[in-house]
Chains A and B, each alone.
Chain A
Amino acid sequence: MAEGTNLSSVEHIKRKSDGLRGGIPEGISNELSGAIADDDQQLIKFHGMYQQDDRDRRDERAAKKLERLYSFMIRLRLPGGYLTPEQWIATHHIAGDYSTGVIKITTRQTLQLHGLLKHHVRPTIQAFNRAKLDSIATCGDINRNVACASHPSLSPAHAQVFAYADKISTLLKPKTRAYYEIWLDEEKILDKKEEEDPLYEDRYLPRKFKIGIGIPPNNEVDVLTNDLGLIAIIEDGELKGFNIAIGGGLSSTHGNPEHYARLATVIGFTAGEEKTLRAIYEVLTVQRDWGNRSDRKKARLKYTVDQYGAEAFRREVEKRSGFTLEEPRPFEFSQRSDLYGWERAGEDLWHYTVFVENGRVLDDEKLLLKTALLEVAQTGKAAFRFTSNQNVILSDIRSEDQQAVHAILEKYGVLAHTDNASAIRKNALACVAYNTCPLALAEAQRYMPTLITKLEPLLGKHGLEGEGITIRMTGCPNGCARSANAEIGLIGTAYGRYNLQLGGDRYGLRLNKLFRENIDEPVILEELDRLFGLYSREKLSGESFGDFVVREKIIGA
């Protein structure tokens, strides 16, 4: 229907890729370069990897007659962000053997490793496979890792909701065997009919596709920022079904109003697994058929929804599903942060949420976090759940084991680290940006901790140290760390410069807006100091910073 005559180049690459194989095997065995061919760089995303290079090192290496320092980022498929302790141990060692050693918890509850050299990709994937982990479809124009509210203590129905993440992930996995063939030495498929894919065909989706499942009242997953958000409706501890919201996505382009951030629109409600999965599936088929395939910047579902209208989109989904969606049920979000420290869920289970700044698990001079987590995993007493705020919950610990885990966390100072982190630090998010992200215009995760250290005294000065203001930074307007959906958003415009955006609400239901354009650190600090002062003096009781700046018309709502 919307199949344009001039397809974007990526569309051609996908179609002639022979089931996402392309020239990847040849590229991997090429001895001259640490990179793979340009076209294959598009395809390898579907296998869960990005080719990157160390942008700090480009000039120096060129002078040495060396090519760029290419490496690969690999992202796991972890529906709902769950690992057994054995899988964490495996990941710990794989990270040490083949990557920079840092295990990065992403903003969508999965793990990624950076800095894999080309010849380490295959051994990495094989080692993950032995731990029953894969990276299929975690990047690329396809359904990505399915996020789901992670705290088991949120609801007695949590386990039931959580199970959907895996079901959806399996339902929407591509049928090609390329991953197994290329990386795991599976024998080549002779009869290509075996991998015929009625969902993705040979063209996959027009663009990335993200699904998140939220459990009110905690909107930790930022459910409305997904292409498809499911809001679990739980009554009396029982899962009734899901509100379905479509068309979320936070990417934008500086100076181009055609490209914008958008929160998802709730279009209906489904009850029961069969109908819910069917409706999800058909949202993807409609986007597959209606989405824009000539302009990748207009290819996300949010633009399709706005072009056709949410109503028309819903009717098409209903037509293809063979049933109508029910009226959305009421829901309310009143939290978005993680439940740090110990919490008890159910009869006999304990969970400890560890604060992990920017999701980076490593040992440094201040904290041996990676060692501590390994030791916890080695007890075999705790599972690992990752949150959309890039933290880890050591979960499902029995009462009799709680003390052992506690002792390890105490020994390595993890308890103190989590307790002592300020409210603003715990509510901060930053994307990867420099030095590996090719899109970054400015620093993010390398800079955010320093900026927060400078903001903490300002908040203290105004008596706001206890306020969990959400602050998020991204190195570009693509919004990986959901900077458009925070009370304070900092979006990189150039090296050392950011757009300061204000007015988002605390729970992820209202986007922020541009307040000051292209400013550097002194101006950022000066502006926030002034605004914190105003907020401290003039806020209403219980009023969040985001709501305050809107009410005071500091920013237009």
Chain B
Amino acid sequence: MLAPAKMKIVEDLVAGSVKEELIWLSGYLSGLVASGGQPKEAEPEKKALPKITIAYGTETGTSKKLATGFAAAAKKEGVPVKLVGLDQYRLGDLAKEEYFLTVVSTHGEGEPPSAARKFYDHIHANGFKLQNLKYGVLALGDTSYPLFCKAGEDVDVQLNKMGGQRLVDLKKCDTDYEEDARQWFEEVLSRLTASGPAVPAPQVAVPKKVTGKKLYTGTVLANVNLNDRGSGKQTHHIELAADGIDYEPGDALGIIPRNPQSVVDAVLALTGADGAMAIPYKDEETPLVTLLQKKLNISCLPARVVRNYAALVGQDIPEAPIALTDLLRIYPLKEGVSIADLVSLLEPLAPRLYSISSSPEAHSGEVHLTVARDTFRVGDEVRYGLCSDFFSCLPEDSVLEFYIHRNHQFRLPADDRDVIMIGPGTGIAPFRSFLAHRDATGATGRNWLFFGDRHFTADFLYQTEIQNWFQTGVLTRVNTAFSRDQQEKIYVQHRILEHAADVWEWLQGGASLYVCGAKEPMSVDVEATLLQVAHLQGGKTAEEAVVWLEALKEEGRYLKDVY
């Protein structure tokens, strides 16, 4: 009755089955005949997809953009999503999470963004277990920096230690993160839906590649030390001309510094190595001298590198930051240790970021920087920070390469909104950009600047420009604090407090408040003062004031660019 081909299938099936299976099969077939129908098309049950949380820790807005794209893609697939910033995330919820995905960038010396700090500290406090957690970490970073994606790594390792299971492996992304990020989230989605039939890979919407690291070439038009004679500071105003430059007020300029030739020569002399020797570095063979000039941090080795060096040469060396030249001088390389071994433990020469102090509207085809020369002492010797020193000594007409580092988190509000800017020292940089921009575009919102430095006569950065903006009405108000012009130290936060009533009124009227400059102590003191203003003028309790400031932050009206 059966065609030979079909008969073969039946015979194979029967031959491969145990007794119980054959009994079940006969019952199945008889039941099927009794119901008088064809077997149904295998219609899998629409299984309820698990609810996921996507949390982001963002500094410049990239993590947030990615996380938002992921959330949209997940929803499209019918996956219920909770999207939340790590700074808003209720830490107590973590133990209840089942599917937790997080996007975390890395800053400074391998640190999480300030918005993820609380979360990061919480999971490292280590007092609880995450039995049900399935998680995934997407780490963002920049291979030009040492400790690439360190914060993301830490989160991944720690969640695992606490009992969490990886839904997907940690993915570390460089500045060209788009493709890696897309693949990572596709994998997340396919794992989530794995119990059902295969679904076509959803198109994860990731922000289209904006910059990557587009390199520009700039020519130095001017380089002026803004501090007057007798100042203890050196702050350079540098104007660069660059064709086709594209940036917005609030952005930063990134530059990879070069080590001075004298230092490179010293390293070569101390090691007796041949500068022309090709050394493997990041999958390429590169001449040693090029690595020392452009690729490796040799000016100030962090303690962890010193530790590795100590192991390499088999010596006891205090674990403190030191220049490579000093290290080689005091603890020379041993016979038989190759220069390639030394290179392999050195860290990359990290790019430096500087807030841009010009506006494309006001300074077409140019980008301006405000760079403080970093001066410190080693013993009796005065030394300078590598990159700030590079800028300070940059003559007119010299040419340099740089890229634009977007800062989506630090943008001007709509033209008709008021702005309060708190920018002592080089913190003035983005506000010069803001003011030039608002001046050039005729923005109608009011502008209030708080500036401070050490001495009025020597350290009032951009004084004549600020005077002009005040005289022409671009600046509605300006208050200055010069800390060392009188017995008691006066800082910007003192001026804010003096004008608490008006600051409060501006903020109640919808003003955005920006802080730029030193993270500590300035931005901490300013924040404490803002809470005080809310208490004094808004009658808020300490807790209410914190809530109020959080709300301001959430509305995007309290923005910081601090370092």
14 cross-chain CB contacts under 8 A: A31-B479, A32-B478, A57-B228, A64-B224, A64-B225, A65-B224, A65-B226, A66-B460, A66-B464, A67-B463, A67-B464, A117-B456, A117-B457, A119-B485
The reply on B470 being an interface residue by CB < 8 A is yes
Given contacts A32-B467, A34-B456, contact A65 B228 (CB under 8 A): no
Beyond the given A65-B226, A66-B460, please list 4 additional residue pairs across the A-B interface where CB-CB is below 8 A: A31-B478, A57-B229, A64-B228, A65-B465
Whether A119 pairs with B224 at a CB distance below 8 angstroms is no
CB distance from B90 to the nearest CB of A (A): 44
CB distance from B482 to the nearest CB of A (A): 8
Given contacts A31-B478, A31-B479, contact A67 B228 (CB under 8 A): no
Q: Which of A33, A61, A62, A64 has the most CB of B within 10 A?
A: A64
The reply on A266 being an interface residue by CB < 8 A is no
**Which chain A residue has the least Cβ–Cβ distance from B455?**
A117
CB distance from B419 to the nearest CB of A (A): 18
List B contacts of A33 (CB < 8 A): 467
How distant is the Cα of A15 from the Cα of B55 in the complex, in angstroms?
A: 70
**Which chain A residue has the least Cβ–Cβ distance from B462?**
A65
How distant is the Cα of A325 from the Cα of B470 in the complex, in angstroms?
A: 60
How distant is the Cα of A69 from the Cα of B231 in the complex, in angstroms?
A: 14
List B contacts of A57 (CB < 8 A): 228-229
CB distance from A164 to the nearest CB of B (A): 42
B contact set with A: CB distance below 8 Å: 224-229, 237, 456-457, 460-467, 470, 478-480, 485-486
**Which chain B residue has the least Cβ–Cβ distance from A117?**
B457
How distant is the Cα of A63 from the Cα of B223 in the complex, in angstroms?
A: 10
CB distance from A549 to the nearest CB of B (A): 46
How distant is the Cα of A65 from the Cα of B466 in the complex, in angstroms?
A: 9
How distant is the Cα of A119 from the Cα of B457 in the complex, in angstroms?
A: 11
Whether A65 pairs with B486 at a CB distance below 8 angstroms is no
How distant is the Cα of A57 from the Cα of B228 in the complex, in angstroms?
A: 10
Given contacts A32-B470, A34-B456, contact A66 B478 (CB under 8 A): no
List A contacts of B464 (CB < 8 A): 62, 65-67
**Which chain A residue has the least Cβ–Cβ distance from B486?**
A119
Given contacts A31-B478, A32-B466, A33-B467, contact A65 B237 (CB under 8 A): yes
List B contacts of A32 (CB < 8 A): 463, 466-467, 470, 478, 480
**Which chain A residue has the least Cβ–Cβ distance from B481?**
A31
Given contacts A67-B464, A117-B456, contact A61 B485 (CB under 8 A): no
Whether A63 pairs with B228 at a CB distance below 8 angstroms is no
Name B224's contact: one of A31, A34, A63, A117 (CB within 8 Å).
A63
Which 10 A-B pairs give the minimum distances between C-beta atoms? A31-B480, A65-B464, A66-B463, A64-B226, A65-B462, A32-B467, A67-B464, A67-B463, A32-B478, A63-B224
List B contacts of A60 (CB < 8 A): 228-229
List A contacts of B485 (CB < 8 A): 117, 119
Interface residues of A in 44-85 (CB under 8 A from B): 57, 60-67, 69
CB distance from B4 to the nearest CB of A (A): 96
CB distance from A30 to the nearest CB of B (A): 10
Whether B456 pairs with A67 at a CB distance below 8 angstroms is no
Whether B226 pairs with A119 at a CB distance below 8 angstroms is no
Number of residue pairs A-B, CB distance < 8 angstroms: 49
How distant is the Cα of A67 from the Cα of B466 in the complex, in angstroms?
A: 11
Whether B478 pairs with A67 at a CB distance below 8 angstroms is no
How distant is the Cα of A69 from the Cα of B478 in the complex, in angstroms?
A: 20
List A contacts of B462 (CB < 8 A): 65
List B contacts of A62 (CB < 8 A): 464
How distant is the Cα of A180 from the Cα of B72 in the complex, in angstroms?
A: 71
How distant is the Cα of A128 from the Cα of B470 in the complex, in angstroms?
A: 35
How distant is the Cα of A64 from the Cα of B458 in the complex, in angstroms?
A: 10
List A contacts of B466 (CB < 8 A): 32
Given contacts A66-B463, A67-B463, contact A34 B480 (CB under 8 A): no
CB distance from A118 to the nearest CB of B (A): 8
CB distance from B472 to the nearest CB of A (A): 13
List B contacts of A67 (CB < 8 A): 463-464, 467
**Which chain B residue has the least Cβ–Cβ distance from A33?**
B467
Whether B467 pairs with A61 at a CB distance below 8 angstroms is no
Whether B479 pairs with A69 at a CB distance below 8 angstroms is no
How distant is the Cα of A65 from the Cα of B461 in the complex, in angstroms?
A: 7
Given contacts A31-B479, A32-B467, A64-B228, contact A69 B456 (CB under 8 A): no
List A contacts of B224 (CB < 8 A): 63-65
Q: Which of B464, B465, B466 has the most CB of A within 10 A?
A: B464
CB distance from B458 to the nearest CB of A (A): 8
How distant is the Cα of A188 from the Cα of B227 in the complex, in angstroms?
A: 40
Question: Digit string of A496-539 for contact with B (CB within 8 Å is 1, else 0)?
Answer: 00000000000000000000000000000000000000000000
**Which chain A residue has the least Cβ–Cβ distance from B222?**
A63
How distant is the Cα of A117 from the Cα of B467 in the complex, in angstroms?
A: 18
CB distance from A383 to the nearest CB of B (A): 32
**Which chain B residue has the least Cβ–Cβ distance from A62?**
B464
List B contacts of A63 (CB < 8 A): 224
Whether B467 pairs with A66 at a CB distance below 8 angstroms is no
How distant is the Cα of A12 from the Cα of B480 in the complex, in angstroms?
A: 33
CB distance from B142 to the nearest CB of A (A): 33
How distant is the Cα of A69 from the Cα of B463 in the complex, in angstroms?
A: 12
List B contacts of A117 (CB < 8 A): 456-457, 485
How distant is the Cα of A414 from the Cα of B506 in the complex, in angstroms?
A: 63
Whether A69 pairs with B470 at a CB distance below 8 angstroms is no
List A contacts of B226 (CB < 8 A): 64-66
CB distance from A57 to the nearest CB of B (A): 8
List B contacts of A34 (CB < 8 A): 456-457
List A contacts of B229 (CB < 8 A): 57, 60
Given contacts A31-B478, A31-B479, A32-B467, contact A64 B227 (CB under 8 A): yes
CB distance from A110 to the nearest CB of B (A): 27
List B contacts of A64 (CB < 8 A): 224-228
**Which chain A residue has the least Cβ–Cβ distance from B466?**
A32
List A contacts of B479 (CB < 8 A): 31
CB distance from B391 to the nearest CB of A (A): 16
How distant is the Cα of A64 from the Cα of B467 in the complex, in angstroms?
A: 14
CB distance from B175 to the nearest CB of A (A): 34
CB distance from A33 to the nearest CB of B (A): 6
**Which chain B residue has the least Cβ–Cβ distance from A61?**
B228
How distant is the Cα of A117 from the Cα of B462 in the complex, in angstroms?
A: 19
How distant is the Cα of A117 from the Cα of B457 in the complex, in angstroms?
A: 8
How distant is the Cα of A69 from the Cα of B464 in the complex, in angstroms?
A: 12
List A contacts of B463 (CB < 8 A): 32, 65-67
How distant is the Cα of A63 from the Cα of B237 in the complex, in angstroms?
A: 11
Given contacts A31-B478, A64-B227, contact A69 B467 (CB under 8 A): no
